[in-house]
Structure 1
């Protein structure tokens, strides 16, 4: 995964950001209606989407068994007979990472070792996920705890109250402190909580500030807001990533999360990355999809591609 060292906060750049909402909506609509892939190309795109999934369980009733099941599926996301039929059986396809609460990181480390997927990254949500309404010192301690247990990626949430009040300097300082807590070997993914930010201009500004503070990825949402990953929000964020890259030369990844449940959705998000940022941003080191149920639909579509019929639910267990 690319490492973003960040830069000094440039308030002139942040304050100068303006988003044209009608233009964004028009552009986003083309990605959902005019950009499609079919047949073998669609199967290839779906396999690529699998490798970019952060397979997630973030429920109040998570148990050791849930995490074991998640990790086994992360190592074996698509049935072997389907991969063999597509000529992909020897490619070692896995998901991009597993994502769990910090209290379940130790379980994930052990489960991935048992399942033969020790190389799969473990992402842990931290900093008072999903609301972030805990003291900042506690948030930093949670980051350190998750890393100590074996997390290799940390997903933090910004203080939305600071963003809504326009205190971008404080947002920058908090993210920068989280980056320092991660060090250079653990990647930082910053969740903007876009459904709470009110306007696309705020989304763009939050994206810039997060990248300036050193975020290696910017992520749309926690999946717990009323509105999560939408195409206009995604377009706004990837345009910010593109501008940041052009001005600094540093590559930052993108992660939509929340509400992405179908194979068709995953292809639309891949199309966004291809058209706005290029092929390099269609790989797991710069693109992730936060999802729990998406993988089931992708496997179902691949089953149809191979066999010509749709599988019953029990044939593709999660």
Structure 2
């Protein structure tokens, strides 16, 4: 497999991953990000007017892309079962509302979620690798992943060691992703970049490529525990990265913004960004997800408003 850099000859991936130096040369050879241009592009796309029919499609599409998430120390089996019921049937009064894409929980609650979602198409996702900090030895991280997969997780959301990346230890980050991917087996791997700690959009582009070259099935903005999280410019850069990666390698990688996505307006703006940057191939739950807990309720309320002409309010949707 080869990757074409902006001003270089094609690079063999086995050579790229042979050392920190070769990875650094590759990553720093990627086209730089015009931060002002990225902000202006996002602002321009945010002004797009979405008409009623398109908005109805966007709301249902966004619902189908939600990874309904609970990642709190107070999580209980009962709370997870209730969340799974909502994932399967977001609006108990309306069977036309699509199910969400997945329920995301801690590893010790995977078995509970798996049982509650049996017979449905809703996947079970689990965070792992010492979420949210990523500060643990590799054997511990791999044991975390193995426990989640053994319990039935269909998807693993791992966190990278941001300290290692920012210190220039690119090979360490690369090899951890490769090792986690191997332990995942048939489970899809989402690699959380924690973009709020990466300082620059150039770093977002570099770590996106690093994760994809290492085998990520998805790249994800954030844990939801750090602010800023899924900002427009960050998502733009990640979408450009997956688009360019597919052109270079022929392999498509998904994108999952997470953290701070609370309203239908947020979600619709991000869908516009997906369509205008990566293309409509990414406008499916297979390739784009929203990591969220409160977003679903707002999507349901806006859907009710479109159908009835009245804003029903939060009392008309179930509590997550």
Please report the TM-score for the alignment, with normalisation by the length of structure 2.
0.91
Is the alpha carbon distance of 1:37 and 1:133 closer, same or farther for their aligned partners in structure 2, counting shifts above 3 Å?
same
How many residue pairs match? The answer is 300
How many Å separate the matches in 2 of 1:35 and 1:77? Answer: 28
Judge conservation of contact 1:125–1:156 (CA < 8 Å) in 2.
yes
Question: Is contact 1:9–1:212 with CA below 8 Å preserved after alignment?
Answer: no
Is the deviation greater in 305-314 or in 47-56? 305-314
Q: CA deviation at 1:38?
A: 2.1
Q: 1:79 offset after TM fit, Å?
A: 4.4
Displacement of 1:197 in angstroms is 0.8
Q: Could you list the structure 1 runs, at least 4 aligned residues long, displaced by more than 2 angstroms after superposition.
A: 6-13, 78-81
- CA 1:253–1:98 in 2, change beyond 3 Å: closer, same or farther? same
CA–CA distance in structure 1, aligned partners of residues 198 and 110 of structure 2? 30
Instruction: Report the equivalent of 2:218.
Output: 217
Aligned with residue 100 of structure 1, among 102, 105, 109: 105
- Deviations along 1:119-143, one digit per CA (max 9) or x if unpaired, are 3111000000001111111000010
Give secondary structure in 1 for the equivalent of 2:285.
coil
Alignment of 1:141-156 (within 5 A): 141-156=143-158
Q: Does the aligned pair in 2 maintain the 1:155–1:188 contact within 8 Å?
A: yes
Q: How does 1:235-254 map to 2 (within 5 A)?
A: 235-254=236-255
Mapped partners of 1:97, 1:36: distance in 2: 29
What SS does the aligned partner of 1:261 have?
coil
Residues 130-168 of structure 1, C-alpha deviations (whole Å, 9 max, x = no match) = 011111110000100000000010000000001111221
Match of 2:233 in 1: 232
Structure 2, unaligned stretches of length 5 or more? Answer: 1-11, 17-22
Which residue of the partner structure matches residue 174 of structure 1? 176
Corresponding residue of 2:9: none
Structure-2 residue corresponding to 1:190:
191
Contact 2:261–2:292 (8 Å) recurs in 1: yes
Which of 121, 125, 128 aligns to 2:127? It is: 125
What does residue 309 of structure 1 align with?
Answer: 310
- Give the whole-Å Cα distance in 1 for the aligned partners of 2:104 and 2:13: 28
The CA distance in 1 between the partners of 2:237 and 2:14, in whole Å, is 22
**Who is 2:36 aligned against?**
22
1:26-79 CA-to-partner distances (Å, cap 9, x unmatched) read: 1111122x2231212201110000000001010111001110111000001134
Structure 2 match to 1:70: 83
Name the SS for the 2:14 alignment partner: coil
Q: Is the 8 A contact 2:297 2:314 kept in 1?
A: no
How many Å apart are 1:214 and its aligned residue? 0.1
Mapped pair 1:165 → 2:171: no
Q: Which string of whole-angstrom CA distances, capped at 9 and with x for unpartnered residues, describes residues 167-217 of structure 1? A: 21111111111111112x110000000001111111110000000000000
CA displacement 1:230-249 (0-9 Å, x = unmatched): 00000111111111111100
| 2:116 is equivalent to residue 111 of structure 1 | yes
RMSD value over aligned CA atoms?
1.5
Answer whether contact 1:7 1:214 (CA < 8 A) is retained.
no
Partners of 2:14 and 2:269 lie apart in 1 by: 34
Does 1:50 find its partner at 2:63? yes
- Correspondence for 1:86: none
Whether the 8 Å contact between 2:257 and 2:290 is mirrored in structure 1 is: yes
What is the distance in 2 between the residues matched to 1:65 and 1:302?
28
Check conservation: 1:8, 1:213, Cα contact below 8 A: no
Q: CA shift at 1:13, angstroms?
A: 3.0
Q: Could you state the TM-score of these two structures normalised by the residue count of structure 1?
A: 0.91
**8 Å contact kept, 1:7–1:213:** no
